[in-house]
Structure 1
Amino acid sequence: MRDLYPAIEPYNQGKLKVSALHTIHYEESGNPQGKPVIFLHGGPGGGISPIYRQYFDPQQWRIIIFDQRGCGQSTPYAELRENTTWDLVQDIEQLRQQFKIDKWVVFGGSWGSTLALAYAQTHPERCKGLILRGIFMLRPSEIRWFYQEGANYIYPDAWQAYLRPIPLEERDDLLGAFYKRLTSEDRQVRLEAARAWSVWEASTSKLIPSTISQQSFAREEFAEAFARIECHYFVNRGFFTQDNQLLQNIKRIRHLPGVIVQGRYDVVCPMISAWELHQAWQSAEFIVINDAGHSVSEPGIKDALIRASDRFAAL
């Protein structure tokens, strides 16, 4: 089993004003002359973590990571205006231009895989390849499974806590009920809903549930941006024009090398989406981790991603 590379610090950090409203935080680490890779975090609204740098050989890679609009150190905090998939695709391009990079490898998991596919299909000429994990294509069936009916059959105990802020008469549309509360003028109403939403995801992300993850996701400074921005994207169906848009446009990236890493027991983003993506993009390497759920930090997923990044360093 491969483990993370040693912890490193960024050699460059900064802010990029991407609109009149939004400014995003970015960092560079590793080798300034190395192969460029853009790391796309999850959520949307999850923000970056120092551990993400450690999935790449720092001698081989120029590692670029940023907080997407409204989360982490980007401002304004938890802002929903001017915050769409296509705004983020534009932000990635602005970063590429800022760093004077011609082409780069795109690495993303969970929502990061959604954004990676959307970006690559918009700018295939700027991509050297994709490393994807925990595939999520933001289709209605995927949203319904996790937030309305499906995953609750596996985690009824965690589901009970998720439902707590929502009265019985509103539970036939949980996405709408949460959105109403997450956009409330009352901060306590927002926070109660945000914690319930965020802890539900933390409770289901790993094959073996982690109390530490649940506590981390319950933190006020994380939960509000995470829950608000996720729910905003989900009620707007990812701002896609068609439910199967990412699958239908796979022809735009079929020529690119790709790796798809998927935990077989991923409850957050069930394996059917990764399977359907692979059927549409059969040249991409498909790696199923039989003893893993959704989390990037589970041993088998970590091993597969690090091996993939090592192989892509030679492209």
Structure 2
Amino acid sequence: MTGESAGTVKAGGAEIYWETSGNPAGVPVLYLHGGPGAGLGRGYRSRLDASKFLTVGLDQRGCGRSKPTVQDDLGSLSGNNTQALIEDIEAVRRHLGIAKWIVTGTSWGSTLALAYALQHLDRVLGLALMAVGTTSREEVEWITEGVGRIFPEAWEEFSKAAGRRPGERVVDAYARRLAGTDRDDAETAALAWDRWESTHVSLDPLWQPGPMFDDDRERMTIAILVTHYWSRDAFLPDGQAIMERIHQLNGVPGYLIHGRKDVSGPVVTPWMLHQRWEGSRLTVIENEGHGGPQCWAAFVGAVEEIATGLSRMDGQEA
């Protein structure tokens, strides 16, 4: 029997929205969305075989159907960090009575999935990650500054619009203004941020012209949260950065799926993770960028392979 359910769980002063779909007795699969702040959407729910898997999604703190939305309670922003998101995930897991799950994520969701796995390895059956990143300082500086070498005209406009103070990075300036008390100025900053985002993804074969977000509230939510996390190295300081700790996942099934033409997040990041993570597999999709149908097909195949491996282990134990 398959079906869908949804609800909320209270965690750390927030109300976290969760939803499930598929077989309640199936292999649990956690899906972590991108952004930060992009919200779940619905397309992910139809990817996996509903008769075999129980897919669990949640709107991360401050966005989507979780409450409060960050722009409605800017005072809550200081408590919105990677550790809080990990605790929210754990609150959902306990609420649903799940002992272990396959952990998956796309884009920022891959960073969060890795951070979660490194902290709660005993809860992880395997990982399937797409459009892989670790939100390191090097990655953030590339996407906010370095990639301007490819789009110098757009980057000059983006940089000038940042309103930087002396010694301030572009991303820091936008983070300050988007979280500031002058909400008209924040709206101006959100529009400039959106224009840059829609530029640096424009070499993706699946790119469509136009803004990234047409909805004002959605645009503001993601701009606040992306810059909040990016300007602070995803709240993973030296000693906690994912690349330096990835060896701790040695032996854990891990699938890294990435588009060769992902200019915003070059394939060097999943390649380096793969080099340091024994038992991981790297799949590079030559004709796609930041996701696409072939990436999703590889993602589904990865989850299926993890589940098949679990079945073999169960058979051996029996």
Deviation of 1:57 after TM superposition, in Å, equals 1.2
Does 2:208 correspond to 1:211? Answer: yes
Unaligned 5+ segments in structure 1 are: 1-8
Structure 1 distance, partners of 2:264, 2:3, is 31
Structure 2 match to 1:63: 55
C-alpha contact (below 8 Å) 2:194/2:212 kept by paired residues: no
SS at match of 2:225: helix
| Aligned alpha-carbon RMSD (Å) | 2.2
Would you say the 8 A contact 1:263–1:293 is kept in 2? yes
Q: After superposition, what is the alpha-carbon deviation per residue over 1:12-56, rounded to whole angstroms, capped at 9, x for unaligned?
A: 111111122x11111011111111011001111111110011221
Normalised by the length of structure 1, the TM-score is 0.89
Equivalent AA in structure 1 for residue 150 of structure 2:
I
In structure 1, which of residues 219, 231, 252 is the aligned counterpart of residue 248 of structure 2? 252
Kindly provide the CA deviation profile for residues 257-308 of structure 1, in whole angstroms up to 9, marking residues without a partner as x.
11000111212211111111000014211101111111x3x12212211222
User: Of the candidates 222, 231, 235, which is equivalent to residue 231 of structure 2?
Assistant: 235
* Paired position in structure 1 for 2:42: 50
**Corresponding residue of 1:128:** 125
Q: 1:12 aligns with which of 5, 28, 40?
A: 5
Residue 286 of structure 1 pairs with residue 282 of structure 2: yes
Q: Distance in 2 between matches of 1:10 and 1:147?
A: 42
Count of aligned residue pairs for this structure pair? 302
Question: Which residue matches 2:84?
Answer: 87
C-alpha displacement of 1:243: 6.7
User: Is the contact between residue 135 and residue 274 of structure 1 (CA under 8 Å) also seen in structure 2?
Assistant: yes
Amino acid at match of 1:230: V
User: Distance between the aligned counterparts of 1:202 and 1:129, measured in 2?
Assistant: 33
The reply on whether 1:40 has 2:36 as its aligned counterpart is no
* Mapped contact 1:203–1:209 kept (Cα < 8 A): no
For 2:280 and 2:165, the matched residues in 1 are separated by: 45
SS in 1 for 2:55: strand
CA distance in structure 1 between the aligned counterparts of 2:113 and 2:18, rounded to whole angstroms: 17
> Which residue does the alignment assign to 1:266?
262
Q: Distance in 1 between matches of 2:239 and 2:227?
A: 17
Q: Is the 8 A contact 2:206 2:288 kept in 1?
A: no
Structure 1 counterpart of 2:174: 178
Task: Give the 5 Å matches for 1:193-212.
Answer: 193-205=189-201, 207-208=204-205, 210-211=207-208
> Relative to structure 1, is the Cα distance of residues 197 and 23 closer, same or farther in structure 2, using a 3 angstrom cutoff?
same
| 1:107 is the counterpart of 2:107 | no
Question: Which stretch shifts more, 193-202 or 180-189?
Answer: 193-202
For structure 2, the 5+ residue unaligned runs are 71-75, 311-318
Moved more, 112-121 or 240-249: 240-249
Contact 2:164 2:173 in 1 (8 A): no
Indicate whether 1:310 and 2:307 are aligned.
no
TM-score (norm 2): 0.88
**Aligned counterparts of 1:75 and 1:36: Cα–Cα separation in 2:** 25
Whole-angstrom CA distance in 1 between matches of 2:54 and 2:217: 29
SS in 2 for 1:188: helix
Matched to 2:10, the amino acid is K
Aligned residue for 1:275, secondary structure, equals: helix
Q: Measure the CA separation in 2 of the matches of 1:260 and 1:146.
A: 20
Q: Indicate how the Cα distance of structure 1 residues 168 and 235 shifts in structure 2: closer, same or farther if over 3 A, else same.
A: closer
* Structure number with higher relative contact order (C-alpha < 8 Å, ≥ 6 residues apart): 1
Structure 2 counterpart of 1:77: 69
Q: CA deviation at 1:163?
A: 3.9
